[in-house]
Amino acid sequence: MKFTHIAAAMCLGLASLPAAAQQYQLSHNAAPGNPKSDASDMFAQLVNERTEGRITIDVGGSAQFGEDAEAITNMRLGSMAFSANSQGTSSAIVPELAVLGLPFLFDSLPQAWDVMDGPIGEQLAEAAEAQGLVMLAYWDNGIRQTSNNVRPIESPADLAGLRIRTPPDPITVDIFNALGANPLPLAFSELYIALQQGVVDGQENPLINIYSSSLYEVQRYISLTGHKYEATFLLASKIIWDTFSPEDQEIIRQAAIEAGDYNRQRSLNDEMELRATLEGEGVIFNEVDSAPFQEATQAVYDQWRQQFPDLVDAIVEAAAAARTE
């Protein structure tokens, strides 16, 4: 008989179930073939193998178990165990997480990973746990580029008036407001149709998301703005986490880190290879001089320093140190 954790939580039954019946859900919004999707499957497989089937994880990709916001809510209630969740949605509950997306903070993926794997990552994990979420690992969601159907974006002026879909992430909204665009937060699962029907003119995502979700089919131009980085957070419900033995917690955390290493390497490889693939699909790319974009978005740092002065200064310092290593 198959138990979801929802049913188990309703009857407070995990402790009373046979060990072999402990099945949990993991939610994410990525399409099959995306590094987030493949890493989620890898994580589930590792946990299953290393617990000899005592703990199994049912992965629901492409928002099968609901959007990221619903997953966050369910984890905090203890009715869902895991989520490979987006930075924007997670920061609605843990606002400190948003600072990873400050504009032009990171020049490369390895630089971002160095910062997340250090004291900054520990501080953000503490903030998440205070909200009922256990940070198992920092996975990658790439450096983001801007696509649209109107014109190449070569300067901030080219964004004036364009309706750009963003995730429900306050820093991304702040960035595109500063650049003169009209940012429209929208769930990722609704993005393709919104682009296809002209509800929005464009969007911003790493190339792997543009490719794996076929957004290139409904976008003519990709401008390499590189305006921000985003992580994927592999999170666990603290309510459920506390039911695991220390030994199983270690197994789960190690599996999360190993799957994260795979996710990161995939993201790095895909970032280097996908431009040619997308150009082959007819997408028009253009390079961008980032200097005027950086100048236009400096006010975003001032905004966020008002809320988190010490954290913003600390992450800027950590990013600078990682850049010189």
- Tens of pLDDT, residues 179-225: 999 999 999 999 999 999 999 999 999 999 999 999 999 999 999 99
The enclosing H or E element of 281 equals none
Query: What is the predicted pLDDT for the residue at 325?
Result: 62
Residue the block writes with tokens 């600078």: 320
Identify the pLDDT of residue 20. Answer: 54
pLDDT attached to residue 11: 38
Domain boundaries of the chain, sorted by first residue: 5-324
DSSP line for 51-86: TTTSEEEEEETTTTT--HHHHHHHHHHTS--EEEEE
For 238, phi then psi, to 5°, come to -65, -35
Cβ neighbors of 11 (< 8 A, separation 6 or more) are none
Handedness of CA 46, 244, 260, 204 (dihedral sign): positive
Judged by DSSP in three states, 144 sits in strand
Which residues, in sequence order, are CB contacts of 84 under 8 Å at separation 6+?
A: 26, 27, 28, 30, 36, 39, 40, 139, 232, 233, 234, 235
Q: What does the pLDDT read at residue 13?
A: 37
CB atoms within 10 A of CB 34: 27
CATH 3.40.190.170 fits 5-324, yes or no: yes
The pLDDT of residue 116 is: 98
Query: pLDDT of 158-178, one tens digit each?
Result: 999 999 999 989 999 999 999
pTM exceeds 0.75 for this model: yes
Low-confidence ranges of the chain (pLDDT < 70): 1-21, 325
